[in-house]
Amino acid sequence: MAYTMTPTPAGPVGSQYCVCKVELSVCGQNLLDRDVTSKSDPFCVLFMEVNGKWVELDRTETAVNNLNPAFAKKFIVDYHFEEVQKLKFALFDQDKSSMQLYEHDFLGEFSCTLGMIVSSKKITRTLLLGNGKPAGKGMITIAAQELSDNRVITLSMAGRKLDKKDLFGKSDPFLEFYKPGDDGKWMLVHRTEVIKYTLDPVWKPFTVPLVSLCDGDVEKLIKVMCYDYDSDGGHDFIGEFQTSAARMCEAQDAFPLELECINPKKQKKKKNYKNSGIIIVKSCKITRDFSFLDYILGGCQLMFTVGIDFTASNGNPRDPSSLHYINPMGTNEYLSAIWAVGQIIQDYDSDKMFPALGFGAQLPPDWKVSHEFAINFNPTNPFCSGVEGIVQAYSACLPHIRFYGPTNFSPIVNHVARFAAQATQQEAASQYFILLIITDGVISDMDETRHAVVQASKLPMSIIIVGVGNADFAAMEFLDGDSRVLRSHTGEEAVRDIVQFVPFRDFRNAPKETLAKAVLAELPQQVVQYFKHQNLPPINSEPA
């Protein structure tokens, strides 16, 4: 299976990578029967939580006399990985033609996040009444599908014996590709580069979305026009032809497809006119350019690990000035960061068991310093159940350890990298590891950490660093390779940028969702980039 790397668009990274549309199909089973003389006539209403209130997005058609409806109308929702998108599916028995929901009998509801649905692809759950009790034996099944054509077409084109258009030299040819627009006019979709001074040009291979080239219809006619470039913009027309993506795909490396380039004016004037040259399709391949959602819907799990800084610079956790002090509201910057990131990622891990590790503290009973210890003090089983489990283990361990130092990152990075390396042996896009490190300051083992990150960049792994407190975080910015490629102390370059650093202080007064958005913005792109680099399609993907 071949893949194409799409060029990274300029501009802000983040939401543009992951906003795609998801289609949700809904079925009900064993719904409550609210009608006396016949069965219920159910319809489903979808709500989304916006600023703490449920807002209706859409409703299905009504299924008449049916306690096991499969609704034909689908819900279409914009998907944002870096947000918690809370949904509620409510079923009603239609009694009147009123649009007001209180006029209809309530059959039960189910609430979840969009992340839960896409990470499972299909879920079946019990419907609940307003009091939280089951709505009889009523169940709801919701299935998700991405609404996008992810096919791309890669074309390699050349020309032979094109008409000479320049008085003192040869031509400077380029090609333009057009598809029919809705208004019946031809619409430009791609222009090749200009090849100077030749009648036998070879253009660089190029890749465009199949939707752009022919609206995803491989049989649709495409017009290709060949011009001789003039610097004053008055390009001279050489010739044209019409073809389709399906026809161009007949070209193979050993058997190129040759198409005559025709100038209709010359054809009319000259009796013995043959053509204005030949355009050659050297190769044409249609492949899939998989998205983050393709990998998640294909069954890829995001494996989440937390690393917490317990060095002395944080201050005594009993002292209100300490970064580890848990305030009367039951929180601090460490807990806020764990919640912000964890509540999003936990939807994408089926068992929701997360290792939580600490570093930079002395541990009982012998008070030796450790740079990778299980905060639940169970080294053989460092897993915590859900984000709540991490929070509980963190609060419970604080009184039992002594904050010390130095601030060594590399042991925890290497710890997660060992598991990521094991996952690569499956040779499938099944697991991707995310390490969240929360720290108050300067890294002591910078050379070792740089080396560890460079090695980890070859693995299915990303590192998120949240800096708490008011320290100088210049070293963290250095690890986050947004502005330049990270190198290890030996000079080896990172294969890709896997570190995202965010200072918590920038988000102290912002809504808690904004931290999650900033921290997770680059993650979908990093997941896709890794699996493409390894030529790994989603587990359950269809060929193009």
The continuous run of DSSP H or E covering 453 comes out as helix 446-456
Measured distance CA(401)–CA(309) in Å, rounded:
12
CA distance to 28, 71, 95, 356, per residue, from 66 (Å):
9, 11, 14, 48
- What pLDDT is stored for residue 19 in this prediction? 62
311 and 406 in contact (C-beta within 8 Å)?
A: yes
Measured distance CA(119)–CA(220) in Å, rounded:
35
Burial per residue of 162-182, b for 16 or more beta-carbon CB atoms within 10 angstroms, e otherwise: bbebeeeebbbbbbbbbbeee
213 and 179 in contact (C-beta within 8 Å)?
A: yes
Measured distance CA(184)–CA(458) in Å, rounded:
49
The SS3 call for residue 374 is: strand
- What pLDDT is stored for residue 343 in this prediction? 92
The pTM of the full predicted model, rounded to 2 decimals, is: 0.80
CA distance to 27, 268, 325, 362, 435, per residue, from 317 (Å):
51, 89, 4, 14, 24
Q: Pick from 179, 159, 161: which is nearest to 282 by CA?
A: 159
378 and 346 in contact (C-beta within 8 Å)?
A: no
Backbone angles phi, psi at 157, to 5 degrees: -120, 155
387 and 341 in contact (C-beta within 8 Å)?
A: no
479 and 462 in contact (C-beta within 8 Å)?
A: no
Q: Pick from 332, 530, 307: which is nearest to 431 by CA?
A: 530
- What pLDDT is stored for residue 149 in this prediction? 83
* 315 CA to centre of own chain: 38
- What pLDDT is stored for residue 11 in this prediction? 31
- All residues at 6 or more sequence positions from 502 whose CB lies less than 8 Å from its CB, including other chains: 464, 465, 466, 467, 515, 518, 519
Q: What is the DSSP string of 494-529?
A: PSS--EEEEEGGGGTTS-HHHHHHHHHTTHHHHHHH
Can you give the pLDDT of all 544 residues of the chain as single tens digits?
232 223 333 333 333 345 688 999 999 999 999 877 888 999 999 999 999 999 999 999 999 899 999 999 999 999 999 999 999 999 999 988 888 898 999 999 999 999 999 999 999 999 999 999 999 999 999 999 888 888 999 999 999 999 988 667 789 999 999 999 888 889 889 999 999 999 999 999 999 999 889 999 999 999 999 999 988 788 999 999 999 999 999 997 789 999 999 999 999 998 899 999 999 999 999 998 899 999 999 999 999 999 999 999 999 999 999 999 999 999 999 999 999 999 999 999 999 999 999 999 999 999 999 999 999 999 999 999 999 999 999 999 999 999 999 999 999 999 999 999 999 999 999 999 999 999 998 899 999 999 999 999 999 999 999 999 998 888 787 787 677 788 888 899 999 999 999 999 999 888 878 999 998 988 999 999 999 999 999 997 777 6
**What six digits make up the tokens of 126?**
């019990």
Q: What is the DSSP string of 219-253?
A: TSEEEEEEEE--TTS-PEEEEEEEEEHHHHTT--S
CA distance to 45, 77, 542, per residue, from 21 (Å):
18, 6, 19
Tell me how long the chain is.
544
Which one-letter DSSP state was computed for residue 62? P
Measured distance CA(90)–CA(209) in Å, rounded:
38
CA distance to 323, 440, 472, per residue, from 315 (Å):
7, 10, 17
Measured distance CA(387)–CA(511) in Å, rounded:
19
* 17 CA to centre of own chain: 6
User: What are 465's strand-pairing partners?
Assistant: 437, 501
Measured distance CA(371)–CA(448) in Å, rounded:
13
Measured distance CA(437)–CA(493) in Å, rounded:
22
- What pLDDT is stored for residue 476 in this prediction? 82
- What pLDDT is stored for residue 233 in this prediction? 80
The continuous run of DSSP H or E covering 287 comes out as strand 278-288
